[in-house]
Structures are given as C-alpha cells and as structure tokens.
Amino acid sequence: MSQYLTEKVQEKRKAIDLSHHLSDLSRARATSPLKGLARYFGRPDLISLAGGMPNEAYFPFAAISGDALVPDSFSLASNQSESSLSWFWKLFGSRKEKTTSISIPKYPATKDDITLKVALQYGTATGLPQLQKFINELVEKIYQPAYSDWTTLVQTGNTDGWGRAVTTLCNPGEAFITEDWTYPSALAGSAPHGIHPVGVLMDDQGMRSEELRKLLAEWDESVRGCKRPHVMYTVPVGQNPTGVTMGLDRKKEIYDICVEYDVIIVEDDPYYFLQMGSYGAKLDRASQAMHADPESWLSSLAPSYVKYVIDYQGRVIRLDTFSKTIAPGSRLGFYTCNPRFAERLERAGEVSTQAPCGFGQSLIAQLLTTWKYEGYVRWLQGLAVQYKSRRDFLLDALREEFHMQVSVGTTSSWKGCTVYTASAKPKTGSSRMLEKRAYGSKALFSLVPPTSGMFVWLKLHFENVPGFQPDEEPNTMEMKLWVKLAEAGVLIGPGRYFASDQEDASPVDGHFRIAFSYASEEDFTKAVKIFGEVLREFFQEQ
C-alpha cells in the first residue's frame, strides 16, 4: 500500500510541520503587544485598565434588528430564477417574502447571546466566538478535514485572505503557481510584493496535473530567475474566469504532485456552493433529477482539497467567503488550515484588518445561529438552483441569437469538452440556401458551458475578421471589440485581465468573461441582442 493510502486509512493525525514554507516577513511577526492582552479578557473578575477601549455605554446603538429571509425562500425545483418574477409580485402584491426577525441587543440576556457590547468593541483577529462555533460546525460536517488539529480563522473576504496568505508564505522575488487564466485581484495583490504568477494550462477540470508536473520537474532556476515555486493559488470550483469544476480524482493527482515537490495549496473557493452541473437543452431540463434534500445535494458536490481523502498532511489553506452566499458588503470570510499557518495568519491580521467589522460579524452570526446549520445548507441549495437558472437563461439567449454548432473539443484546453461554436444566423427567411449559408458561416466565438460559479467564458475567433493581421495588431482586437460593446451599452470583462501572463496572451484568440449573476432576464435578453449586433458588424457578417 502506498504512503498516500496508508495515511488515509489510519486514525486522523495532526498536520505535519510545514513551517519551512513561512516567509521572512511572517517569521518576523510577533504578537501585537496590546492584542496579546486579550487572552485575559475572559476572566469574570477582571478589571481592565490596560486597553484604550471606549465604554460600550457610548455606542450609539441600543440594538440592531432586521427581517431576514427564511432558509427555504428559493425553490429547489425552479426552472426560472426568482428575480425574473419579482416584478410581478411587487406589482400585484400577490406574494410576500417570508421573513424571520433577528435582533442583536447591546447587552446579553444569556451568556451565549451575540451582543453589540462585544461585536462593536475592539476584538481579536479570531472573530466572534458564536461565529467561530458555527464555522467550525460547517467545516467539520461539509469539508471534513483529514487531520485532527485543523483550525479556522476569520478574514475580511477572500481577497484579503489571499493577500495575507501570499505574504505569509512567499518572499519578494518568488513565484507562485496558478491556472493560466485566473482571478485578476490575486495577481494585482501579489505584484507589488515582487511575487509573480506562473500559469499552468487547463482543461475541462481546471489545472492539468501532467502540465503541473512538467512545470515543476523541468524548472530551471537560471532560466526562470527564481527558485522553484512552493505555493499554488487555485480556484478549483467555478474557476474564475472559465467556470470549470475540478473533481476528486484530479484533486488527488494535483495534491500528490504537491506532496512530491513540497508545494502549499491555497484553495480560493468562493463558488463552492454554486455548483450546478452540466448545461442541457430546455427539453432535457424537465427530466433532470433534483436532489430532494440538502444532505444528498451536499454529497453530490465536488469535494474541497481539505477533505479527508485528499489533504492528509495539512498543506492546504482553504479560503471561504460569505460574499457569494450572503452579501459581499459584509466583508467576511474564513480560513481553514493547519494551526501553525493559522497562528501566523492571525498575527498578520492583528496589525492590519484586526477583526472583520463588528456589524457584519454580528448580523451574519445572528442570522446563521437563527437558521442553524440545516437552515443554512437549505439556503445554499436554493442559491445553487437560482444561479443554475440564470446560467441556463443566458446560454439559451445566446443560442437564440446565434447559430450554435455543438462539438467535442479536440485541442488545447478544450479537449474532450462540449464546445458551442457560434456563427451568425441569416437575417431573414429560412430557405435551404440561407440555412446552408448560416451553417457554413465562419465562427465568431466559442464557449464551454460553465458547471459552477457566475461566469461564461467566451473565446473570440479574430482570425475570421477580414484582413486581420496578428503581427500588425498584437493584442488589440479584443480591446477594440470591448470598447465597441461598452459604447453600445454592454459592459463585460476583457479576457486579458485574467491572463496569468498578459505579455504571452494570444492576439488571435481573444476572450471575454460574461457574468450571469446580477442582471435581470430582461437585461440579459437586451444585452445579448446588442452583443449580437456589435459582433456581427465587427466581423463584417452580412
């Protein structure tokens, strides 16, 4: 039996010592002197004259209350997003949102109450105890870490989470591994520290394991100008921008390579609960089986890297956020990682963000403890159904606007994927000649339907623009088309923003990222019409 399997079948062990990965900056961090006093605050007989804490009597809030939606607000069987019907209910008043009242007093009625006295005071970087307790329950039941001493720690959203993680692990001049297309803020956050990305090619499950192994095995420090990377940043579910989802077997392959080459994995997973499966035609959707209960739905999700069948050493730092599941303005998320990394991340938080905002912490903690674990999971399942409906509507609209040819990808990152290639539909008539012309029309763009997340990733076929000269117009066609779309009233994400190496971006294959998370169905329809008109004019289709 391999060491990997042997580790799995034995009783959970503590995480191994990976402290050699810590950066010089992280090693130099000491406990913030004043924050170190917090360990005494739990003593009931303590008279504190040490900290400069305002007296809570001077907080201008006696209580905070609100009406929260109930966990089952969104149907599990909906083929149409709730937002598309909201105008009807508001106009005729025939449906009222079901809510439950939550309230946060300044002072406790019982010792376990969430209070403004605590939430609005200077706090520790570990967050409110009640929130910590709920997060730990969530992690234990859903992600099921493989080692016994896993730890959670709050942060102010995953951008902050990555910012702290990369400086905790990497020194200036080092490189980190990521997908060849990735989240721009992760790149922008590391660049000022002199820490740069190295992209790995992807396929329909994200990062390709054979390409990762090749990169690490063939790394030449004299050519690359830095030592071999020891940190990976990855968005494995709803990969941003491509929307692909990495399954268990691929994650095991990636993890084994990271063990072999001693690489730490930073798993940025904001879209974990927005897994929606494959896209199908309208007629096929009616027969798609829905998960009747939340637990069966949870078991259908691709597992996290921290799950017991993968991360048996504690080399994964997982980033979770409430931005996509509750509200981005809450600026609240959390780490799951080994205790040594958590302690260093906590030290970094003490002298930067300190704790997340007390208003956000208290409201979300009160909401979650009111809903309880089962209620929150039901809420998450309803959200997944909503975003699936949004994805399907946008893809349906694109299929209405363009002729779509469906094929199986044979090359590059789309090998084995179901690829939709769009060309212009004839303007009028439906004669055989026009149908033949439409079918023979040159490709405008291609896409692989996303299986998770909030985005559709388009590949533009600029080689089919008459007179296109890639050598004469390097990397400009994408932005020219983007500007025309913006001026016509549709704003989408330029693909170049997501390239791990913008200098190496292809001038022939432009890309756009289109979000289906926010706009109404009416706006989707309008936007697709504008997109079609601008695109056909740009490609000079008549």
pLDDT (tens digit per residue) in 374-401: 999 999 999 999 999 999 999 999 999 9
Strand partners, 68: 100
- The token pair at 25 is 């900056």
Report, as ranges of residue numbers, the positions in the chain whose pLDDT lies below 70: 1-10, 34-39, 41-42, 78-95, 286-290, 412, 427-440, 470-475, 504-508, 541-542
- Would you state the torsion angle of the CA atoms of residues 274, 279, 281, 282, taken in this order, to the nearest 10 degrees? 0
Distance CA 122, CA 357 (A): 10
Q: What is the pLDDT of residue 187?
A: 93
| Helix H or strand E encompassing 493 | strand 493-494
Q: What is the pLDDT of residue 333?
A: 94
Coil, helix or strand at residue 408: strand
Q: What is the pLDDT of residue 432?
A: 46
Cβ pair 242, 203 in contact under 8 A = no
Q: What is the pLDDT of residue 83?
A: 52
Cα–Cα nearest to 13, from 319, 318, 311, 265: 311
Q: Count Cβ atoms below 10 Å from residue 249 Cβ, excluding itself.
A: 10
Tokens 């990855």 -> residue: 234
List, in order, residues 6 or more apart from 44 with CB less than 8 Å away: none
- Per DSSP bridges, beta strands 151-155 and 333-337 are antiparallel
- Ordered by where they begin, the domains of the chain are 53-71+82-386 (3.40.640.10), 389-540 (3.90.1150.10)
- The token pair at 397 is 């609209």
Q: How far, in Å, are 203, 263, 406, 444, 463 from residue 417 at the CA level? A: 8, 29, 10, 18, 22
Q: What is the pLDDT of residue 514?
A: 97
Cβ burial, residue 438 (10 Å; 0-12/13-18/19+): middle
How much of the chain is in helix, strand and coil states, percent to nearest 5? Answer: 40, 15, 40
Q: How far, in Å, are 16, 139, 185, 302, 357 from residue 307 at the CA level? A: 16, 10, 27, 10, 30
Q: Which amino acid is at 74?
A: F
Cβ pair 200, 242 in contact under 8 A = no
Tokens 């200036």 -> residue: 172
Q: What is the DSSP letter of 307?
A: B
| Helix H or strand E encompassing 190 | helix 184-190
Tokens 């989802």 -> residue: 245
